[in-house]
Copies of this chain bind each other. A is one copy, B any other.
Amino acid sequence: MGGEEKTSQVMPVPWQQVTPDAARRLVIAAVEEFAERGYHATTTRDLAGRAGMSPAALYIHYKTKEELLYQISSAGHRLVLRLLEDAASGEGTPVDRLAAAVRAFTRWHAEHHTMARVVQYELGALAKEHHAEIVDLRCRTDRVVRGIIQEGVDTGDFVVPDLAGATVAVMSLCIDVARWFGAERRRSPEEVGELYADLVLRMLRHAGPAHQ
């Protein structure tokens, strides 16, 4: 029972390289279940059931339930970091690159909002050393975005009274997409990405007459 879940594949999800097949089915089941009910409300029996196997089979592929969460969290954070680094090291002005970063970051949170929910809201359930590793990744993503904004300030394209505050606000705006996206069916991930890129530029650009 439990038909195959169809997830949109516009951006790559790294589960293709997870083997054997049962392990992949488990990790996909875990993303859906953790996103829907939360890590602590999900039982190993739920996961095994959704992946089409007995509860005991889970422990052939993963040592603990927490390791499954860690795999998801780690893969998600690394993927997001790469996304932002690509945007940051791309061509164009800081304005262009911040827009690209926000577009990609937002779009990922919308398109993969189930995985994004696990990545962003289930950190607290990680074991201590796993948690520390993830926090380090998050600091790095923060630094990437702050770097682009700083460059924009240097060129005079951005005017921000508080660099750290603006960085937090920009990332916060994008991250929270994972929370509300899905309840509303009207907008596509691409549209939200465009809208947010525009809003963020409006937020940070100096409010002079030389608009676009």
Contacts and interface: CB of A to CB of B under 8 A. Distances in A.
Contact of A203 (B179, B184, B199): B199
Interface of A: 36-38, 40-41, 120-121, 124-125, 161-162, 164-166, 168-169, 172-173, 175-177, 179-180, 184, 186-187, 192, 195-196, 198-199, 202-205, 207-209, 211
A164 B211 CA distance: 24
A169 B184 contact: no
Contacts of A38: 38, 40, 124-125
Given A165-B195, A166-B199, A169-B195, A41 B179 contact: no
Ranked nearest first, the 8 interchain pairs of A and B with the lowest CB-CB distance are A40-B40, A176-B176, A209-B209, A172-B176, A40-B41, A207-B211, A199-B203, A203-B203
Tally of this chain's copies: 2
A117 B16 CA distance: 35
30 contacts: A37-B124, A41-B125, A121-B121, A161-B195, A162-B195, A164-B186, A165-B195, A166-B199, A168-B180, A168-B184, A169-B173, A169-B196, A169-B199, A172-B173, A172-B176, A172-B177, A172-B179, A172-B180, A173-B176, A176-B176, A176-B179, A202-B202, A202-B203, A202-B204, A202-B207, A205-B207, A207-B207, A207-B211, A208-B209, A209-B209
Nearest to A165: B195
Contacts of A121: 121, 179
A73 to B, nearest CB: 15
Given A121-B179, A176-B179, 4 more contacts: A161-B195, A165-B195, A175-B176, A207-B207
Contacts of A168: 180, 184
A177 B175 CA distance: 11
A43 B189 CA distance: 38
Contacts of A41: 40, 125
Contacts of A40: 38, 40-41
Nearest to A186: B164
A72 to B, nearest CB: 17
